[in-house]
Amino acid sequence: MLIDSHVNLHAPQFAEDREAVIERARAAGVGLMVTISDRVAAYDAVRAIAETHPDIWFTVGTHPHEAKDDPDLSPEHLVALAEHPRAVGIGETGLDFHYDLSPRDVQAKVFRAHIAAARASGLPLVVHAREADDEMADILEAEHAAGPFKLLMHCYTSGPGLLRRAAALGAWFSVSGIATFKTADDVRERVRAMPEDRIIVETDCPYLAPVPHRGRRNEPAYIGLVLAKLAEIRGWSRAEAEARTTEAFFNLFDRIPAP
């Protein structure tokens, strides 16, 4: 089974042909997808996609770019939304100091609310980190000391220090199409350092299309290209990469019944 652990099917880029995109993914062998919430205000749209398709699940959360629009988001509200039986994760949440589209203190506050919700619900936290390595690691370590929670460092492109510190907390890591980019040697170096039993794959579609589709709209049908690059980087066969990432996925997203 091919699994795309991070898709954004409610994005406007899919408004005209969402069902065709989903069918192309299935035709390419994708057996399961997780569609991600970028803001709590989009809950109904994200949930509706998962309710309509038995092979799609969803998460609940607000991206750091959107944190400014929901600065008082509470763990209790997130937990209540995540009670839906097809909700399988908390996030996407985190820190993004590259664009700074939300004030940094607000990003951190909203991030901590998501962590509390992940701890309370038992669902994994889907983490976005960009140019905030030290701050991210400090928050994760402090919060983990207050009570453990499962976490996924999604589309990991940050530095080796955050990788080591997150891995020590038991984090999973996802590999995206960035690993196929010609200039992404540093990302491939990080992939080689990831814990072998906690690696999964994603497209992050409609963004970050892998080579040879780079620069175009990404689709979940391209997840096999990411998996093939992961296998190459780690020195695994394609079958081994598929088996390892599938097992890791179900160990992380354990609300989803394994086949």
DSSP per-residue string spanning 9-20: TTSGGGTTTHHH
Alpha carbon 69 to its chain centroid, in Å, reads: 21
- What is the rounded distance in angstroms from the CA atom of residue 31 to the CA atom of residue 74? 33
Give the closest residue to 136 by CA, choosing from 170, 108, 99: 108
Q: What gap in Å lies between CA 254 and CA 244, rounded to an integer?
A: 15
Taking CB atoms within 8 Å and a gap of at least 24, the contacts of 231-236 are: 233/179, 233/188, 233/191, 233/192, 234/191, 234/192, 234/196, 234/199
> Taking the mean position of all CA atoms in its chain, how far away is CA 75?
19
pLDDT band at 259 (very low <50, low <70, confident <90, very high): confident
By the 8 A CB rule, do 84 and 123 touch? no
Question: Is 136's pLDDT higher than 90?
Answer: yes
Pairing of strands 199-201, 172-175: parallel
Encode pLDDT of 208-239 as tens digits: 999 999 999 999 999 999 999 999 999 999 99
Which pLDDT band, with edges at 50, 70 and 90, does 1 fall under? confident
CA distance 153 to 187: 13
Mean pLDDT of the chain: 98
Using alpha carbons, select from 160, 159, 156, 196 the residue that is nearest to residue 179: 156
Domains present along the chain, CATH in parentheses:
2-252 (3.20.20.140)
| 16-66 pLDDT tens trace | 999 999 999 999 999 999 999 999 999 999 999 999 999 999 999 999 999
